[in-house]
Chains A and B, each alone.
Chain A
């Protein structure tokens, strides 16, 4: 495998791919891994400086209430769009990819804009640190406490929702705990809540201070203790490394690799960064079976269009609309289990839409597509109406300038190596090249990019 292909693949998986300029410039995989390792920049989501409302708005005058609710809804959309654009920024793309992964792992929805922003920034801060720190932070995160009903978790009437998902989805996986463990853990999290300013609070009088029996251990455990006991369980490392492997390497985890990764993850006290670079430095990461095996999620696909072709939509609602019709809206995972990933993204209509998307994005053809109305008035207006031709500005010269010296045939090869990880498995290529041979260079670049992005192979990385 050529060095350039390796570098391209690394960036596809660790980030959202490389811009053409970087693709042409970068020469050493060794150096690129080191570069990624050294990157520590954090760009926080910064739509709101403070919560939109700090009181129970039920008691406010109707008009004021309406205004605040509108501002709140708009802020959630703005957070979504800011984050999406941030993913397309190569300076922070690695951290953003990690944030996207953990956003799906700790899948959460909140109707309160401020809590969305806070949680997103909390995840972002911890994605290259220790998994334990991330888990402890999420357990005290107001959006999550609200989403999993821990605000209602009281000594007199424990609510098991958070305790259950903590074990089933966040750490151990189904079948690795008992219903009794859930009950006991729920008691330990009683009193964990948040206030109207969006801050975690421990409500002492709602907390159950009595003895609990958890995984055979007896003690007056609190929530932190429960999390630490779960972290001491080797199953947690297996569960997490498997999920990371599925997302960053291959849908079908290799048993030996998982064992190797899980052992290491535990030994390093769950150091996520160490784990990621261990993967990126492994020979098997670059195995032919892994390259092109990942079906890009709608967000990955959309971010690549923004990043690669520097598209600016005149109306940014288009960005929400594409997320909606392709089936993945940032901040709105389907439920606490998150997006399924892999082949679950693909059905007849979503695949046709993916293959037709370049026509719309590059402004070639109109398409009449409606988003499904979910029925919820709170989210309905997130992406309403029809998908029509997007008005956008594209900076083609940022691409054509880089290819000025090359022949059309050579340009095609460069663009193909840049945009695709696999050879095209059909004969469309030949007829495309025959038809387009006479085109001027700038026209050829556009047509070639359209041809390549409408291929099946562009759907995978």
Chain B
């Protein structure tokens, strides 16, 4: 089409120049469909060694399989008669003692894949292990929520790039590391858009850009006035990302899903030091985060899910590490859990699947439970089929 022709056909729509109060109003008009609940998802990337996280300190098989790496019974932080925490997780123990944690053991899926990418794909898309979906479960949640008014900021990943989990067909979540930084970057690219009625790909790109501007401005404006925050966070990157999530929750923005990753768990070698450091980072940060939410009464509506794409082999390898495994433990944190402590028993270490722990809970049962019971959404529509609900909430 020649420029003259589409000038005739199109109204001049302005993208990227706002009168702030009016768009804030516009956003607030939309009814929040998530029952005002928040879900924070923490991904431990690389495959955290669950067996050295939740330790069966009375089990000889555990000590036999790991002559070098097993955590000595005396060092384990005991949580029950036979299970305890890695010594680096003292702060996590405090949450456990306050009945804020539910630990689900042996979480996995049928026909497990031991490749990081593929297994992460399966967790992100909630697919079968021989099925390839190009949308993530949170992305499909966004799609299911959006009629005409799809809003990317309903799900935010605190990172520079967006994970598959947050990509839907119609709507994709937002990736940002810090509201102000994101706002400034968005501001650098502003166009007055001569909108057309065609719904072609160029139109789609303009629309995406326009939504990005609006979302960035909305989040930034709501977060601009830094509310006093008395909770102290460690200085590391992961803790700071959780702090940003807490700020966004406190700011009252209508985001329901937050996503953040902690990486480095692929401990084929030198596991002892690496895992110790990472579990300490996780434990300290999550403690600050929960304390922060609690102080502002924002824990009441929030659940926190922590998962890893797989656990590691029961037997240690010859290089002071462990190789890729299958089922793993997973944490749910919140202050109104129905079942706290250990949700189920740890798998039998004498009944393994080629050296790996057999799963007893499909992770999609957990997704379904969170979608239905916490966010009050149609889980079967989002997960493409029905999964039984669990009782942790």
A161 proximity list for chain B (CB < 8 A) = 130
- Number of B residues contacting the other chain (C-beta, 8 Å)? 60
State the CA gap A27–B65 with chains docked (Å). 73
With A373-B261, A459-B205 in contact, do A164 and B130 touch (Cβ < 8 Å)?
Answer: yes
Of B55-63, B158-166, B335-343, B369-377, which stretch is located at the interface?
Answer: B158-166
B204 proximity list for chain A (CB < 8 A) = 343, 346
Shortest Cβ gap from B45 to chain A (Å): 3
Shortest Cβ gap from A257 to chain B (Å): 18
A293 at the interface (CB under 8 A from B): yes
State the CA gap A370–B11 with chains docked (Å). 39
State the CA gap A423–B198 with chains docked (Å). 14
State the CA gap A295–B201 with chains docked (Å). 7
- Cross-chain contact A356 with B132 (CB below 8 angstroms): no
With A374-B45, A375-B46 in contact, do A288 and B116 touch (Cβ < 8 Å)?
Answer: no
Interface residues on A, range: 35 or more
Shortest Cβ gap from B174 to chain A (Å): 5
Name the residue on B nearest A429 (C-beta): B3
B38 at the interface (CB under 8 A from A): no
State the CA gap A288–B6 with chains docked (Å). 14
B120 at the interface (CB under 8 A from A): yes
Name the residue on B nearest A355 (C-beta): B189
State the CA gap A161–B113 with chains docked (Å). 12
Q: Which of A292-342 contact B (CB under 8 A)?
A: 292-295, 325, 327, 334-337, 340, 342
Name the residue on A nearest B174 (C-beta): A348
- Cross-chain contact A376 with B134 (CB below 8 angstroms): no
B177 proximity list for chain A (CB < 8 A) = 370
- Cross-chain contact B162 with A347 (CB below 8 angstroms): yes
B268 at the interface (CB under 8 A from A): yes
B23 proximity list for chain A (CB < 8 A) = none
B108 proximity list for chain A (CB < 8 A) = none
B161 proximity list for chain A (CB < 8 A) = 325, 327, 349-350, 353, 371-372
Most buried by B among A169, A423, A427: A423
Q: Which of B150-191 contact A (CB under 8 A)?
A: 152, 159-164, 167, 172-177, 181, 185-186, 188-189, 191
- Cross-chain contact B212 with A351 (CB below 8 angstroms): yes
Shortest Cβ gap from A434 to chain B (Å): 14
B280 proximity list for chain A (CB < 8 A) = none
- Cross-chain contact A428 with B205 (CB below 8 angstroms): no
B118 proximity list for chain A (CB < 8 A) = 335
A426 at the interface (CB under 8 A from B): yes
Shortest Cβ gap from A197 to chain B (Å): 24
- Cross-chain contact B205 with A372 (CB below 8 angstroms): no
B132 proximity list for chain A (CB < 8 A) = 169, 335-337
Binding site for B on A (CB under 8 A): 109, 161, 164, 169, 251, 288-289, 292-295, 325, 327, 334-337, 340, 342-344, 346-353, 355-356, 367-377, 380, 422-423, 425-428, 454, 456-457, 459-460
Closest 8 CB pairs of A and B: A375-B46, A375-B45, A373-B263, A337-B132, A347-B172, A349-B175, A426-B191, A348-B212
